[in-house]
Amino acid sequence: MTTAVLPGHLAPFVVHFDDLDAMGIVHNARYAVFLERALSQWWSDRGHSYAGGRPTTSDVMHAVAEYSISYRTPVRGTGEIGVHFWLESLGETSAVYRFRILSADGATVHAEGRRVNVKLDPGTLRPAPWSDDARKHAGTLLARP
């Protein structure tokens, strides 16, 4: 038996009561927040974050240009889940992430989607190239054919 090696990173995540809607399932808007928090922590662990309200690198200055989520089956109640993300591609100024929200055991895909970030120059807010350090770390998230 072989085990598939997934690209990217799988972040354990906890669903809290305030993530739920009136039906006791995760509110649709929370899925984007789950990805945001998982990505932010991953990049922070690699030195790309904020300290004292200021960016630690220019690479944290980016905007979301596109976002899409397909909901497959609801996350019911609180507890552990997984946020799996990887880079589909890394351009000069953009990054295309793919992601899945999974059950804790990875057997159920609750949602999946795509997010495109564009790095911005802090002064002009125009697209700017990623740094060599960001490219080095991002390379570990790239899906390989």
Please indicate, yes or no, if residue 71 is contained in any of the structural domains.
yes
CATH, residue 127: 3.10.129.10
User: Could you write out the three-class secondary structure of 3-24?
Assistant: CCCCCCEEEEEEECHHHECCCC
Please indicate, yes or no, if residue 109 is contained in any of the structural domains.
yes
Residue 139, judged by CB atoms within 10 A of its CB (0-12, 13-18, 19+), counts as exposed
Q: How many CB atoms lie within 10 A of CB 95?
A: 23
Please indicate, yes or no, if residue 3 is contained in any of the structural domains.
no
Please indicate, yes or no, if residue 124 is contained in any of the structural domains.
yes
Give the pLDDT confidence of 13-45 residue by residue, as tens digits: 999 999 999 999 999 999 999 999 999 999 999
Please indicate, yes or no, if residue 4 is contained in any of the structural domains.
no
For residue 78, is pLDDT > 70?
yes
Q: What number is the average pLDDT over the span 63-67?
A: 98
Contact 101, 28 (CB under 8 A): no
Instruction: Provide the domain limits for residue 65.
Output: 10-47+55-139
On the CB side of 25, CA atoms within 13 Å amount to: 10
Please indicate, yes or no, if residue 2 is contained in any of the structural domains.
no
Q: How many domains does one find in the chain?
A: 1
Please indicate, yes or no, if residue 112 is contained in any of the structural domains.
yes
Please indicate, yes or no, if residue 104 is contained in any of the structural domains.
yes
Q: Report the pLDDT value the prediction gives residue 1, as an integer from 0 to 100.
A: 43
Indicate if the alpha-carbon torsion angle 59, 65, 70, 71 is positive or negative: positive
